[in-house]
């Protein structure tokens, strides 16, 4: 394995590509959550048993999210990229890809958040309202803290999904492990490069999933004993 | 006593595309300060809807809810939230926040009321003391028993010094002895803190144990109201009779028309009924009995039928009074 690595690229090269991948995925996940949490909440509260029941808003938002989620990621990205490049003004670097990733991942994250919100026991919401809490206070100081573990589990799943997106984006030029695997592994017929990238990507996902699950478990006081 | 809650023509209709359900209809009810008011009815009678309309968790379709003289239906949202701090509520499923410790659950209503941190903590600890959980401050609800959870819920409901405590089937998820301890706590709260209590239940036992007044609700309307002692002694409507003397079979009216319902609430060690029959020389007919043998005696209820003879009836009543056993009397005509 060591000799294989040195045969094509030095170890530091893979480290560098790994860090680039982590940076793009990290920023995209973060931004997708900044947008996805409010949208997920909006979906939940405007739904039929929601705190701010509003069918039109729910239907329109739901439709937009469904459309964006139905589009295969890579097709969505190549469709959006020219417009994003015009808007962002840079034709180089990770910025346009990151924007594309965020646009594709936000609807996914919004649905993840929405499904976590469904876990709340409505009795707890009612108790909060009965004590005189406003709906907003109830959302932010009761509902979100109560479902935090589920949100964290959702975030690790979103992270893995966005990592997958980033790797795909590598085939059309986004830097990182995906690009390395495609350009230097697949195109240049170096199967060992592809395999090393694959292993690294799997390891990253596993680490994040393990850490995410542990944090989620640690923060969850619902089960006895643990 | 001053009235604290007045419901006027309160009606709630649930409507969706397919169904229209009249959950409560033209409810008029007055609850006075200091009452422990039981509202009893069968499943689906409209009890939960009624109590949820009192603090407007459910918005009434029509009618008025006066709380301390103010019609809550007319209040703006912010005023309603203010008022809700004065109306505590506890639930069948406790509805505690599972990710907060016991202490932080009780702090929550104090956060809403913007009470300073130190004062709030003092108050919360004091309340948890009152409900007997001072050693559980840092536990999470999942580490508590049902009875303990309900105690936390009670402490939480009392945090902002409410004048009323609403209880929706607050003991229905608990076993009989835990139920009794929670009811005792509620009674204590009523007596010590002067808090008016409204209790929704489908169990006659709950009403018997702590309520001074009772309303019987059936098919969305209130059928009968009054002092518990009076309604129990002399139920007027079929549903009231049904609730008070449930599942009695055919009674031989030739034997006699007087029924006594004995309640053994204090633990009884002696064989009272046998002793009573021997001492009074009255042959009673045991219609129904549910007696539990505990570690220190028996508790429970028994319904006996007495012969049609004033002398015998008086003897039995006398015996029971001297033995300090509470009983209620009614007629077999009560059974339809
Ligand atoms: N949110 C709702 N939407 C539609 N119908 C409802 C709703 N809540 C209650 N109902 C209906 O109103 C009627 C009264 O219900 P309610 O929950 O008040 O009864 P209850 O006396 O509390 O019964 P239980 O003892 O089973 O709790 C029932 O027929 C019920 O189906
Ligand atoms: Mg109910």
CA dihedral defined by B172, B173, B175, B179, rounded to 10 degrees? Answer: -50
Same-domain pairing of B181 and B270: no
Range with the poorest average pLDDT among A111-120, B165-174, B253-262: B253-262
Of B218, B238, B258, the position where a domain reaches its end is B238
Please determine, for residue B336, whether its predicted confidence score (pLDDT) is greater than 50. no
CA dihedral defined by A163, A166, A170, A174, rounded to 10 degrees? Answer: -130
Whole-number Å distance between alpha carbons of B94 and B141:
10
Q: Rounded to the nearest 5°, which phi and psi values hold at B167? A: -125, 110
pLDDT confidence bin for B173, thresholds 50/70/90 = very high
Whole-number Å distance between alpha carbons of B94 and B100:
14
Domain ranges for chain A: 2-221
Q: For B334, which DSSP code?
A: G
Instruction: Please state the rounded mean pLDDT for residues B251-255.
Output: 69
pTM of the prediction?
0.83
- A158-177 confidence digits (pLDDT tens): 999 999 999 999 999 889 99
- How high does pLDDT run on average in chain A? 92
Whole-number Å distance between alpha carbons of A193 and A10:
11
Is residue A152 less than 8 Å (CB to CB) from chain B?
Answer: no
Given an 8 Å threshold on Cβ–Cβ distance, is A133 in contact with B113?
no
Same-domain pairing of B229 and B264: no
Is residue A188 less than 8 Å (CB to CB) from chain B?
Answer: no
> How many Cβ pairs within 8 Å bridge chains A and B?
73
**Burial label, B34 (beta-carbon count in 10 A; 0-12, 13-18, 19+):** middle
Q: Is residue B271 part of a domain?
A: yes
Instruction: Please state the rounded mean pLDDT for residues A178-190.
Output: 91
Q: Is residue B243 part of a domain?
A: no
Give how far A125 is from chain B: nearest CA, Å.
8
Q: Do B146 and B174 form a contact (C-beta atoms < 8 A)?
A: yes
The alpha carbon of A200 is separated from its chain's Cα centroid by a whole number of angstroms, namely 19
pLDDT confidence bin for A225, thresholds 50/70/90 = very low
Cβ-based contacts of A216 with chain B (< 8 Å): none
Instruction: Determine if residue B6 is left, alpha or beta; phi over 0 gives left, psi from -120 to 50 gives alpha, anything else beta.
Output: beta
Q: For B294, which DSSP code?
A: E
What pLDDT score was predicted for residue A2?
Answer: 47
CATH number at B92 reads 3.40.50.300
Atom 5 of ligand 1: nearest residue by CA position: B14
Q: Is B219 helix (H, G, I), strand (E, B) or coil?
A: coil
Q: Is residue B190 part of a domain?
A: yes
Instruction: Please state the rounded mean pLDDT for residues B233-249.
Output: 78
Is residue A136 less than 8 Å (CB to CB) from chain B?
Answer: no
Q: Is A198 helix (H, G, I), strand (E, B) or coil?
A: helix
CA dihedral over A109, A115, A120, A125, signed as positive or negative: positive
CA dihedral over A153, A156, A158, A160, signed as positive or negative: negative
Share of chain B above pLDDT 90, in %: 65
Give the number of other Cβ atoms within 10 Å of residue B155's Cβ. Answer: 27
Same-domain pairing of B128 and B199: yes
Same-domain pairing of B190 and B281: no
Same-domain pairing of B35 and B177: yes
pLDDT confidence bin for B246, thresholds 50/70/90 = low
Same-domain pairing of B300 and B183: no
CB of B60 closer than 6 A to ligand 1? Answer: no
Is residue A129 less than 8 Å (CB to CB) from chain B?
Answer: yes
Residues 6+ apart with CB under 8 A from B36: B186, B187, B190, B196, B197, B199, B210, B211, B212, B213
Q: Is B40 helix (H, G, I), strand (E, B) or coil?
A: strand
Residue by residue, DSSP assigns B58-70 as S--SEEEEEETTE
Residue of B nearest to A143 (CA): B97
Given an 8 Å threshold on Cβ–Cβ distance, is B87 in contact with A224?
no
Domain hosting B298: range is 250-331
For ligand 1, pick from B12, B46, B171, B216 the residue to mutate: most ligand atoms within 8 Å of CB.
Answer: B46
Question: Regarding the domain delimited by A2-221, which CATH topology (the fold level of the hierarchy) does it fall under?
Answer: MetI-like fold (1.10.3720)
Same-domain pairing of B200 and B313: no
Give how far B77 is from chain A: nearest CA, Å.
9
Whole-number Å distance between alpha carbons of A48 and A27:
34
Which ligand sits closest to the CA of B43? 1
What pLDDT score was predicted for residue A7?
Answer: 60
What pLDDT score was predicted for residue B305?
Answer: 86
Whole-number Å distance between alpha carbons of A137 and B111:
10
User: HSE (CB half, 13 Å, CA atoms) of A16?
Assistant: 8
Q: How many structural domains are present in chain B?
A: 2
**Burial label, B19 (beta-carbon count in 10 A; 0-12, 13-18, 19+):** exposed
Instruction: Please state the rounded mean pLDDT for residues B70-82.
Output: 96
Q: Do A28 and A109 form a contact (C-beta atoms < 8 A)?
A: no
Whole-number Å distance between alpha carbons of B178 and B300:
15
Q: Which of B81, B87, B150, B158 to mutate to test the interface with A (most CBs of A within 10 A)?
A: B81
Q: Is residue B244 part of a domain?
A: no
What pLDDT score was predicted for residue A226?
Answer: 40
Given an 8 Å threshold on Cβ–Cβ distance, is B109 in contact with A131?
yes
Same-domain pairing of B127 and B89: yes
Whole-number Å distance between alpha carbons of B266 and A118:
47
Instruction: Please state the rounded mean pLDDT for residues B55-72.
Output: 96
Closest atom of ligand 1 to B48 CA is 22
Cβ within 8 Å of B, A 82-121: 121
What pLDDT score was predicted for residue A1?
Answer: 46
Please determine, for residue B257, whether its predicted confidence score (pLDDT) is greater than 80. no
Given an 8 Å threshold on Cβ–Cβ distance, is A137 in contact with B112?
yes
Residue of A nearest to B161 (CA): A131
pLDDT confidence bin for A66, thresholds 50/70/90 = very high
Distance (Å) from CA B197 to ligand 2 centroid:
17
Q: Which of B53, B59, B77, B142 to mutate to test the interface with A (most CBs of A within 10 A)?
A: B142
Q: Is B87 helix (H, G, I), strand (E, B) or coil?
A: strand
Is residue A48 less than 8 Å (CB to CB) from chain B?
Answer: no
- B174-186 confidence digits (pLDDT tens): 999 999 999 999 9
* β-bridge mates for residue B38, sequence order: B199, B214
Q: Which of A53, A129, A132, A218 to mutate to test the interface with B (most CBs of B within 10 A)?
A: A132
Cβ-based contacts of A124 with chain B (< 8 Å): 95-98
Same-domain pairing of B256 and B166: no
What pLDDT score was predicted for residue B258?
Answer: 82
Range with the poorest average pLDDT among A59-63, B171-175, B314-318: B314-318
Give how far B16 is from chain A: nearest CA, Å.
11
Nearest-CB residue to A224 (from B82, B113, B142): B142
Please determine, for residue A224, whether its predicted confidence score (pLDDT) is greater than 70. no
Whole-number Å distance between alpha carbons of B293 and A134:
49
Of B201, B216, B238, the position where a domain reaches its end is B238
Is residue A141 less than 8 Å (CB to CB) from chain B?
Answer: yes
Same-domain pairing of B98 and B150: yes
Q: Which of B77, B78, B97, B101 to mutate to test the interface with A (most CBs of A within 10 A)?
A: B97
Q: Is A13 helix (H, G, I), strand (E, B) or coil?
A: helix
- How high does pLDDT run on average in chain B? 90
CB of B58 closer than 6 A to ligand 1? Answer: no
Please determine, for residue A213, whether its predicted confidence score (pLDDT) is greater than 50. yes
What pLDDT score was predicted for residue A113?
Answer: 97
Same-domain pairing of B150 and B296: no
**What's the CA angle centered on B253, arms B249 and B254, to 5 degrees?**
140
Same-domain pairing of B261 and B308: yes
Of B238, B260, B289, the position where a domain reaches its end is B238
Q: Is residue B215 part of a domain?
A: yes
Whole-number Å distance between alpha carbons of B9 and B27:
5
Residue of B nearest to A122 (CA): B95
CB of B45 closer than 6 A to ligand 1? Answer: yes
CB of B14 closer than 6 A to ligand 1? Answer: yes
What pLDDT score was predicted for residue A173?
Answer: 86
CA dihedral defined by A174, A175, A177, A179, rounded to 10 degrees? Answer: 60
Q: Do B168 and B38 form a contact (C-beta atoms < 8 A)?
A: no
- B2-53 confidence digits (pLDDT tens): 999 999 999 999 998 889 999 999 999 999 999 999 999 999 999 999 999 9
Q: For B161, which DSSP code?
A: -
Residue of A nearest to B160 (CA): A131
Whole-number Å distance between alpha carbons of A104 and B135:
51
Q: Is residue B245 part of a domain?
A: no
Q: Is residue B292 part of a domain?
A: yes
What pLDDT score was predicted for residue B266?
Answer: 63
Q: Is residue B72 part of a domain?
A: yes
- Decide which of B219 and B327 is more confident: B219
CATH number at B293 reads 3.30.70.260
């Amino acid at each position: 394995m060591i000799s294989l690595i040195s045969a094509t690229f030095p170890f530091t090269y893979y480290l560098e590509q790994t860090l680039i991948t982590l940076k793009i995925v990290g920023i995209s996940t973060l931004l997708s959550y900044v947008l996805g949490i409010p949208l997920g909440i909006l979906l939940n509260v405007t739904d039929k048993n929601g705190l701010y029941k509003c069918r039109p808003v729910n239907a329109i938002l739901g439709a937009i999210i469904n459309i964006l989620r139905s589009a295969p990621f890579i097709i969505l990205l190549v469709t959006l990229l020219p417009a994003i490049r015009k808007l962002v003004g840079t034709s180089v670097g990770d910025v346009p890809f990151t924007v594309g990733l965020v646009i594709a991942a936000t609807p996914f994250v919004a649905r993840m958040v929405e499904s976590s919100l469904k876990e709340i026991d409505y009795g707890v919401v009612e108790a909060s309202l009965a004590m005189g809490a406003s709906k907003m206070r109830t959302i932010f100081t009761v509902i979100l803290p109560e479902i935090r573990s589920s949100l964290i589990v959702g975030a690790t799943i979103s992270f893995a999904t966005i990592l997958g997106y980033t790797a795909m984006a590598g085939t059309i030029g986004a830097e990182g492990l995906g690009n390395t695997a495609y350009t230097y592994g697949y195109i240049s017929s170096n199967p060992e490069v592809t395999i090393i990238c694959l292993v690294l990507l799997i390891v990253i996902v596993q680490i994040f999933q393990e850490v995410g699950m542990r944090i989620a478990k640690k923060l969850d006081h619902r089960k006895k004993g643990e | 006593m001053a009235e604290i809650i007045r419901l006027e023509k309160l009606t709630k209709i649930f409507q969706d595309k397919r169904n229209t359900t009249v959950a409560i209809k033209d409810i008029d009810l007055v609850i006075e300060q200091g009452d422990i008011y039981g509202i009893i009815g069968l499943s689906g009678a409209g009890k939960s809807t009624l109590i949820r309309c009192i603090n407007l968790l459910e918005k009434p379709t029509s009618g008025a809810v006066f709380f301390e003289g103010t019609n809550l239906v007319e209040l703006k949202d912010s005023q309603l939230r203010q008022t809700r701090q004065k109306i505590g509520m506890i639930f069948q499923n406790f509805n505690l926040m599972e990710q907060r410790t016991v202490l932080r659950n009780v702090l929550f209503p104090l956060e809403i009321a913007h009470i300073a941190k130190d004062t709030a903590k003092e108050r919360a600890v004091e309340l948890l003391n009152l409900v007997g959980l001072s050693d559980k401050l840092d536990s999470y609800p999942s580490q508590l028993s049902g009875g303990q959870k309900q105690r936390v819920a009670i402490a939480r409901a009392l945090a902002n010094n409410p004048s009323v405590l609403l209880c929706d089937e607050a003991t229905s998820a608990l076993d009989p002895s835990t139920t009794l301890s929670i009811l005792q706590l509620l009674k204590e709260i009523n007596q010590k803190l002067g808090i008016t209590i409204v209790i929704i239940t489908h169990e006659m036992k709950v009403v018997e144990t702590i309520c001074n007044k009772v309303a019987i609700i059936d098919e969305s309307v209130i059928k009968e109201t009054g002092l518990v002692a009076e309604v129990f002694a002399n139920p007027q409507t079929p549903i009231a009779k049904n609730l008070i003397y449930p599942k009695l079979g055919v009674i031989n009216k030739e034997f006699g028309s007087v029924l006594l319902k004995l309640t053994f609430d204090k633990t009884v060690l002696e064989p009272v009924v046998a002793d009573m029959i021997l001492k009074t020389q009255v042959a009673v007919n045991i219609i129904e009995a549910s007696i539990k043998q505990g570690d220190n005696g028996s508790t429970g209820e028994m319904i006996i039928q007495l012969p049609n003879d004033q002398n015998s009836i008086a003897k039995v009543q006398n015996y029971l009074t001297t033995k300090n056993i509470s009983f209620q009397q009614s007629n077999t005509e009560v059974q339809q």
